Amino acid sequence: MSTDNPGMLKRFWISINKPSAKYSVLALGAVFFVFGILFWGGFHTGLEMTNTLEFCTTCHEMRDNVYQEYKQTIHYSNRSGVRAVCSDCHVPREWGPKMIRKAKASLEVWGKLTGSIDTKEKFEAKRMQLAEHEWARMKASNSQECRNCHNWDAMSAELQKQTPYKKHMKAKEEGKTCIDCHKGIAHQLPKEYVDPDE
């Protein structure tokens, strides 16, 4: 192989490995600093766009099924006007767990391409499996996404009804987590689901 006429990639590699004789370290550092900010800003903005309700409902699988159910629930419409959108419950806020969730979600694109839940019937057939995955994820994180807004200590004995308050305090003592009792609060429960309290 001749080294007299290297390919484009090789020439690029050689050029970036040469020490700069023209620019100071400070100038190079400043350029990389600015590019770093632009890259990170762009990456972060793009990532946050995938966290919006509008993005999630661009797929008919979400728009025609779970979105319609969620619209009937208190997390969509309520007295105080606070709304929890899809990502508030389904995507962790912390950077590391968020990246892991997003990487896993990119695998779900395969499901989209293969049409694994592209009809109402297929969605219903897989609802239990999908729900179980999400319940397991929430259980493993101690319902972190619920607790971003809800807190045992912020529950008022005066303002919360007596029965739920007692149940909440008992659950706290028993080390339970939100999803242990609050399944199906924003979507229909799968028809195969049986409440362990029955």
**Cα–Cα dist 30/16, whole Å:** 17
Q: Does 198 sit near other proteins (CB under 8 A)? A: yes
Give the interface segment with other proteins, choosing from 40-48, 78-86, 96-104, 181-189 (CB under 8 A). Answer: 181-189
Nearer to other proteins, 83 or 104 (CB): 83
- Could you write out the DSSP letters of every residue in the chain? --SSS--HHHHHHHHHHSPPSSS-HHHHHHHHHHHHHHHHHHHHHHHHHTTSHHHHTTSHHIIIIIHHHHTTSTTTS-TT-----HHHHHS-SSHHHHHHHHHHHHHHHHHHHHTTT-SHHHHHHHHHHHHHHHHHHHHHTTTHHHHTT--GGG--TTTS-HHHHHHHHHHHHTT--HHHH-TTSSSPPPTT---TT-
Shortest Å distance, C-beta 161 to other proteins: 6
Shortest Å distance, C-beta 183 to other proteins: 9
Tell how far CA 119 is from the center of its chain.
Answer: 23
Exactly one of 167, 171, 176, 180 binds other proteins (CB under 8 A); which one?
167
Give the interface segment with other proteins, choosing from 20-28, 90-98, 123-131, 184-192 (CB under 8 A). Answer: 184-192
Give the interface segment with other proteins, choosing from 44-52, 103-111, 132-140, 186-194 (CB under 8 A). Answer: 186-194
Q: Does 18 sit near other proteins (CB under 8 A)? A: no
Nearer to other proteins, 34 or 157 (CB): 157
Site string for other proteins, 50-89 (x = CB under 8 A): -------------------x--x-----------------
Do you know the residue count of the chain? 198
Give the interface segment with other proteins, choosing from 15-23, 56-64, 98-106, 183-191 (CB under 8 A). Answer: 183-191
Contact between 176 and 196 (Cβ < 8 Å): no
**Binding site residues, other proteins, CB under 8 A:** 69, 72, 161-163, 167, 181, 184, 188-189, 191, 193-195, 197-198
